[in-house]
Structure 1
Amino acid sequence: METIALHTRIALGHEADYVREHQKIPEDLDPVLRRAGVHSWRIWRDGRDLFHLVEVEDYRAMRQMLAASPANQRWQEHINQFLEVADSYAGDDTGIEHVWSLPGTGTRP
C-alpha cells in the first residue's frame, strides 16, 4: 500500500465550483477508482490550494489505468475546467516528497 500526497490549485474564481462538483462524484467513477487500487482519496482546501492524500495499492499503475478509463477521462475533462493546470495523466509523477512523519506512526519514507 502506498500513501501519496498531491497538490493542485483551483483557477481563480472557481473555488465554490470545485467544492460543489466534489459533493458527489460521477457514479461510474467510484468503481473505476476502486478497481485501480484506490482505498481512499481525501482532499483538503486552503484558499485555492488543494492537498490530496491517496491511499492506493500501486500509484503508477493507478495513473495508467485511470488514463485509459473513459469514466476518468470524462471526469478530468469536466473538473479540469476549474483547475489552474489540467492533469493529463501522461506523466509518471510520484506526488509530493515525503519529508517527515511523527515517530511511531508507521509512515516513514
Structure 2
Amino acid sequence: MQRIALHARLKPGAEDAYGQAHQSVPMELDAALRAAGVHSWRIWRDGLDLFHIVLVEDYQKMRHELHDHPANIPWAARMAELLESTDDYTGVDHGMPLVWELTCSGTGDGVQA
C-alpha cells in the first residue's frame, strides 16, 4: 500500500466550480478509481492550493490504468479547465516527498516512507 501526497493549484476564480465538481463525483469514476486500487483519496484546499493524500495499492499502475479510462477522460478534461496545470497520467511522478512523520509509536525519529 502506498500513501501519496500531491499538490495542485487552481486557476484564480475556480474555487467554487472545483468544490461543486467534487460534490458529485461520477459513480463510474468512483468505480474506476477503486478498480485501479485506490482505497481513499482526500483533498484539502488552502486558497488556490490543493493538497491530496491518496492511499493506493500501486500509484503508477493506477495512473496508467486511468489514463485512457472512459470514466476518467471527461473528468480530466473538466479538471484541466479548473487547474493551472495538469499532468498526463503517465505515472512517472511519485508525489511529494515525505519529510517527517510523527508515528503511532510517538518516536518522531525520522522519515517513514
Cα displacement string for residues 9-48 of structure 1 (whole angstroms, at most 9, x for unaligned residues): 0001111111111111012101000000000000000000
Cα displacement string for residues 41-93 of structure 1 (whole angstroms, at most 9, x for unaligned residues): 00000000000000000001000001121111111011210000022213500
Aligned length: 109
CA distance in 1, matches of 2:42, 2:17: 18
Q: TM-score, normalised by structure 1?
A: 0.93
Q: What is the aligned-residue identity percentage?
A: 50
Q: Give the counterpart letter for 1:108 in structure 2.
A: Q
> What stretches of structure 1 of length at least 5 have no aligned partner?
none
CA distance in 2, matches of 1:41, 1:96: 15
Q: Give the counterpart letter for 1:103 in structure 2.
A: T
**Which residue does 2:71 correspond to in 1?**
71
Q: TM-score, normalised by structure 2?
A: 0.90
Runs of 4+ residues over 3 Å off in structure 1: none
CA distance in 2, matches of 1:86, 1:9: 9
CA distance in 2, matches of 1:59, 1:86: 16
CA distance in 2, matches of 1:28, 1:103: 35
Q: Give the counterpart letter for 2:19 in structure 1.
A: V
SS in 1 for 2:6: strand
Offset at residue 105 of structure 1 (A):
5.8
SS in 2 for 1:54: strand
**Which residue does 1:19 correspond to in 2?**
19
